[in-house]
Each structure stands twice: as C-alpha cells, then as structure tokens.
Amino acid sequence: MTADVVPDHEEQVAALLTAALGLRDASLVIYRPGVLVEFKTDRLTEKVTSFEEQGFRSWQIGAFEDHHCHLNLREVIAVEFDAEPVGCQGGRLNYTVWFNGAGDGGNPFRPEGRFSVTLNAPYADDGTPKPGIVEQVYGLHDRLAASPLVRASQAFLAARPAPA
C-alpha cells in the first residue's frame, strides 16, 4: 500500500466507524485477553477525530477532555455486520459491527476483531426486539453496504426483522 493510499483507507474506515458510533443504545467494545473496554456511544460527545504528530496519524474516539481512546484504523481491512447468540443477551442474538484486521489481534473470541460497535440491550423484558433499536443496525448496513470494506454475515442477513 502506498503512502497516498493509506490516509484514504483510514479516512474510509473513520467514516464507517463514525456512522457505527451513531447507533443508539450501543457501545464501542475493545476486547483483549484479560481486558474489556466499553464506551457507550450515547455518551461520546465527539466520535472520531484525527491528530497528526511528527508524521504519525492518530485516531481518537471521544473528546480530548473526556474519556477517550486511540484506535489504529490503518489495520482495519473489513467491516462486518454480524448477529450471533451470546450469553450477555440471554442466548439471543447480539447485533455487532466488527472492525476486522488480518491475523490475530488478541480478541479471544474473534481473533481478527480489532474492535466493534454492538447494541447494548436490543430486547424488551419479554425478550422481543425493541422497536427501532434492532432496525437501526440494518438501516446502517443498508446505508454503508456499497463500501468495498463492508460485508455482512449470513447470520446477520437471515436475522433481519420482517418489515412492520
């Protein structure tokens, strides 16, 4: 990859991440062995900003004066929409936008997963999907699907709610 392509790639990933961070009742999740970091998207007063220092570009999520983190967007090679059953959702589907890299990035459950944006509580007390919450991730997929970086798992596509 040439130097002039890298910033364009990073900017594309930053735009996809900014869109995913717009999901309501969701979290940015960074998972490594022994560490799970979660930022509630609704509490991020700034989503994604770029800083350049001594030729190094840094991508910050969250406001400088508030809780924030820096993510390496250069290593993201694909953005995957997925839906898989997990314990934290009572065995129901967890709707997640994965930002994947090549090789093992240290996530014990999804080695290629660098970080993700996942819905926090997409179900009502009776176990039915909350109106407007699950549908928003499908709307986001539909808006972003034209990007060559975006894909969706078969499980995600099969779980799409029927139109109301």
Domain-wise residue ranges, the chain: 5-158
∠ at Cα 117 (114, 120), nearest 5°? 135
Is a pLDDT exceeding 90 seen at residue 2? no
d(CA 143, CA 134) in angstroms, rounded, equals: 15
Instruction: Tell me what the mean pLDDT of segment 83-90 comes to.
Output: 88
Determine the distance from the C-alpha atom of residue 15 to the mean position of all C-alpha atoms in its chain, rounded to a whole number.
Answer: 11
Superfamily assignment of 5-158 in CATH?
A: HemS/ChuS/ChuX like domains (3.40.1570.10)
Q: pTM here?
A: 0.91
Instruction: Tell me what the mean pLDDT of segment 107-124 comes to.
Output: 94
Is a pLDDT exceeding 70 seen at residue 164? no
Which pLDDT does position 3 carry in this prediction? Answer: 45
Determine the distance from the C-alpha atom of residue 47 to the mean position of all C-alpha atoms in its chain, rounded to a whole number.
Answer: 12
d(CA 88, CA 76) in angstroms, rounded, equals: 26
Which tokens belong to 64? 């400088």
Backbone angles phi, psi at 46, to 5 degrees: -125, 140
